[in-house]
Structure 1
């Protein structure tokens, strides 16, 4: 793989390590190595998809903890002390990604052929503009799952879907690295990244909120909180299983699906008397559910 005069670094090295006789994994450094960085770092170290060089966190202590969890990586004291890596993962919080990338670029660690990526679900690879300005290839790859307990995620990561977008040169290296740890990649449009992430929020965060609202309604109706969750569990799990198996429209049941709008009106009034702000939510969901019921009636998915 012939590189240009300005890309004799990572571009040529990546070609050699992937296609040459002296195959070696690309080198990786992680900036802001929290739960996501630690989990991915450990998986890549164990699979030898990357060779971990340095970890740069706000404190040396947290970087050392990350290194211990991963089983590799040296603690870097500053951007200037980072060794030159083929790939940099900026795993800091969303509000710090652009600043971290700018600091990395200002430290002179990037060149044509370098790769910089982040794993934010809400932000696109455009957050890494400072790296692009220095000739690096950039990408965003978002694992669609919770990283609340890194140890558990590391043990059960296989099959995780990851939304990806960015420069082809970056994805050509990152795609195989994610595949090596069992990820399934799905291409997304950079300009629709925020809507893509909103879909995940509906499916995850707001589902938890709906469970909380349902529990509160049961409690207001005289059911003990612990028992309320037991009542919700089969309704939620069976409805979700049917929606995944049959599709949302075919799986829909309940008063709106039956056309029993008198029951819906009574429920709305009861919720309005209990908690007006939740009544507004009920009304909005009723309208959307009516649309879904019409699709079911017309045999549309």
Structure 2
């Protein structure tokens, strides 16, 4: 099986290397800005050598994952002497293989292996990988290798073109990051009637989980409930009046979300 190396021992690098190791892939070498992080990861995996330079990773591994912060990928890749026939893969959601051009010029295969998953920390990222989807961008034979890796991780995969990456990543931000924002805004309203945030979150989480379950079980638009789905304009007017008095800063957000919900409600009613 192909020998893997990791440049970057942060959350994504740790989660992927641990899961791939458990799936039978040999992780032979790792480097990181922090030698402590590289040593810790090597100890967790076993049989993995922590090294002091990124070049050492490129010299020892047949397939190198560059799991640095996105802005560091291109500079890191440009400073390494790559070898013809080896593979270089990054895990950025928004960037294409274009930032791996220095490796491609040397005859290396280049690709993208982006986990469509929230990675709050390494432990939770490891737990969340099974069942996730990986966005792949590569040419053969590397593409098949990445597909096999996703399958070995009990995950799904999709192929993307370079031109699709930014919109794909924007979609992920809306679904993940902005969900956090919506929950924050909702719990802010609870504090106007003296319910602290931790209690508001405890109360709202079953509602959120129920909504996600309905999306999964019956799909969009059938999962939509609430006043817009019912055509209850009276309740919407009450909401707008209350927000105007209590939380005027939320009015534009509420209106915009409502306007985008109307087509879903109409589709459900057809």
Q: Give the TM-score normalised by the residue count of structure 2.
A: 0.91
Which residue in the other structure is 2:35 paired with?
A: 60
Structure 2: how far apart are the matches of 1:274 and 1:72? 59
Aligned pairs (5 A) from 1:10-49: 25-49=1-25
In the TM superposition, structure 1's runs of 4+ consecutive aligned residues that sit over 4 Å from their partners are none
Does residue 231 (structure 1) correspond to residue 207 (structure 2)? The answer is no
Q: Is the 8 A contact 1:52 1:72 kept in 2?
A: yes
Structure 2: how far apart are the matches of 1:148 and 1:225? 20
Which residue in the other structure is 2:166 paired with?
A: 194
Q: CA deviation at 1:151?
A: 3.4
Report the count of equivalent residues: 269
- Secondary structure at the aligned position of 2:222 is classed as helix
Q: Is the 8 A contact 1:166 1:190 kept in 2?
A: no
Which residue in the other structure is 1:103 paired with?
A: 79
Aligned pairs (5 A) from 1:1-301: 25-49=1-25, 51-82=26-57, 83-104=59-80, 108-111=81-84, 113-155=85-127, 157-298=129-270
Structure 2: how far apart are the matches of 1:229 and 1:283? 23
Assess, with a 3 A threshold, how the Cα gap between structure 1 residues 81 and 227 changes in structure 2: closer, same or farther: closer
Assess, with a 3 A threshold, how the Cα gap between structure 1 residues 95 and 296 changes in structure 2: closer, same or farther: same
Structure 2: how far apart are the matches of 1:110 and 1:41? 22
Q: Give the TM-score normalised by the residue count of structure 1.
A: 0.83
Structure 1: how far apart are the matches of 2:98 and 2:73? 10
Query: Deviations for 1:221-244, whole angstroms, at most 9, x for unmatched residues?
Result: 343433322331232122221122
Q: Is the 8 A contact 1:53 1:85 kept in 2?
A: yes
Q: CA deviation at 1:174?
A: 2.2
Q: Looking at CA atoms only, which structure, 1 or 2, has the larger radius of gyration?
A: 1
Structure 2: gaps (5+ residues): none
Structure 1: how far apart are the matches of 2:202 and 2:32? 42
- Secondary structure at the aligned position of 1:250 is classed as coil
Structure 1: how far apart are the matches of 2:259 and 2:211? 19
Please give the root-mean-square deviation of Cα atoms over the aligned residues, in Å: 1.9
